Every structure is written in C-alpha cells, then in structure tokens.
C-alpha cells in the first residue's frame, strides 16, 4: 500500500534535508485518517509504506507493547521519526562508527544516549546513526512515522553485549518489501 500525504515544498529536485524529513513526519502524523488506517497487531509490529517527499522513503509503524527494532543503522540515509501515539524509547550511540570493514567493536564508556519520545515528539538523525527503538510499555501500542533519504540502501543489524557491538546481518530493500 502506498499513500501520499501532503509533502513539504522546498526547492523542486533538491534532496530533502533532515529538517524536511522531520517536517514531513510531523505533517503525516497529523493525518488522523491515515493513522487510523494502520492495522495494529497484538503480537508484532505492523507497517504501511508511504510516499515521502522528493524521492524519500517513509513508513507508518505500529508497535505492540514490548516490541523493538534491535540495534541497527540506516547506512547512508538520513532520517527522521515521530511518535504519533504511545511512547517510544530510543537508545543510540553518540560515537561515529567505522562504516565498513569490521565485525566486532568495543565501545568506549559514555557513548550511550537514551531518549524518550512521547506522542508528538520526534527527531532527525544523520548518516550511519546507530540506534534501537523500543515500545517498552507493558500495555499500550505506540504508532510512529519514519522517513529516510535516500531510500534505504541497506540496514545493518547489530547485537550488543555490554560495550561490545557485533555486526550480525546486512538487510537490503528486497528483504523488507
């Protein structure tokens, strides 16, 4: 399903910035009819792919209680997301990691950041941003809108034990279509 909510209107043909993507997710989150159209599943995350501004990729995602993404990055894409309902927690690393050529890294102390994003709050992020997003509520679904540019070329998935981050898998668009 592809839906095209009103997009921002910066210069035609230019790549959307992080600010443009954040504005898009804010405007999309205000579309009550679109948000209500997302089927929610008590067992697993649900999503609808959206048409983002100027060639970007966007998703509307439902998060049952206790679900999350695991540690990952969005490779060369910048992005933004906003919590529409419920609350999401983002754990992220404030250190820049090497982009390729490694399997295991030992993280320095003090690189962790935790951010709570209740309904109406969002954020943007740059390339190679490593994070995990969670709905750690025990009772309430959360819903969010996400946008990325360029469209996700790959997602790298990591496992983490203490300060050790290990690359586990590289997903390509055909894996989540």
Tokens of 66: 């206790």
Tokens of 64: 């049952």
pLDDT single digits (tens) 123-148: 999 998 999 999 999 999 999 999 99
pLDDT band at 174 (very low <50, low <70, confident <90, very high): confident
29 vs 21: CA distance, rounded Å: 12
pLDDT single digits (tens) 80-106: 999 999 999 999 999 888 877 889 999
What DSSP state is assigned to residue 145? Answer: E
What DSSP state is assigned to residue 96? Answer: P
What DSSP state is assigned to residue 162? Answer: T
The arithmetic mean of pLDDT across residues 152-159, rounded, is 92
**CB proximity list for 90: less than 8 A, separation 6 or greater:** 114, 115, 117, 123, 131, 132, 133, 134
What pLDDT, on a 0 to 100 scale, did the predictor assign at position 13? 64
Residue 156 clears pLDDT 80, i.e. is over it: yes
CA dihedral for 102, 94, 160, 170, sign (positive or negative): negative
What pLDDT, on a 0 to 100 scale, did the predictor assign at position 6? 40
Q: Are 83 and 119 in contact (CB under 8 A)?
A: yes
Q: Return mean pLDDT, the chain.
A: 91
Instruction: Write out the DSSP string of 13-76.
Output: TSPPPHHHHHHHHHHHHT-HHHHHTS---SSS-EEEEEE-GGG-EEEEEEE-TT-B--EEE-TT
Q: H-helix or E-strand containing 151?
A: none
- Residue 29: what are its φ and ψ, rounded to 5°? -60, -25
The arithmetic mean of pLDDT across residues 73-86, rounded, is 96
What DSSP state is assigned to residue 3? Answer: B
Residue 42 clears pLDDT 70, i.e. is over it: yes
38 vs 97: CA distance, rounded Å: 35
What pLDDT, on a 0 to 100 scale, did the predictor assign at position 1? 36
């Amino acid at each position: 399903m592809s839906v095209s909510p009103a997009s921002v209107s910066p210069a035609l043909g230019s790549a959307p910035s992080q600010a443009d993507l954040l504005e898009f997710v804010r405007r999309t989150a205000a579309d009550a009819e679109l948000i209500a159209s997302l089927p929610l599943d008590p067992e697993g995350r649900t999503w609808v792919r959206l048409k983002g501004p100027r060639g970007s990729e966007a998703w509307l995602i439902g998060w049952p209680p206790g679900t999350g993404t695991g540690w990952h990055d969005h490779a060369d894409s910048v992005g933004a997301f906003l919590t529409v309902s419920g609350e999401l927690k983002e754990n992220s690393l404030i250190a820049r990691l090497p982009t390729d050529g490694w399997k295991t890294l030992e993280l320095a102390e003090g690189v962790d950041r935790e951010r709570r994003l209740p309904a109406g709050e969002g954020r943007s992020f740059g390339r190679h941003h490593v994070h995990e997003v969670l709905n750690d509520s025990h009772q309430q679904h959360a819903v969010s809108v996400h946008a990325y540019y360029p469209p996700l070329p790959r997602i790298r998935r990591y496992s983490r034990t203490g300060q050790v981050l290990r690359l586990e898998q590289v997903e390509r668009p055909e894996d989540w279509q």
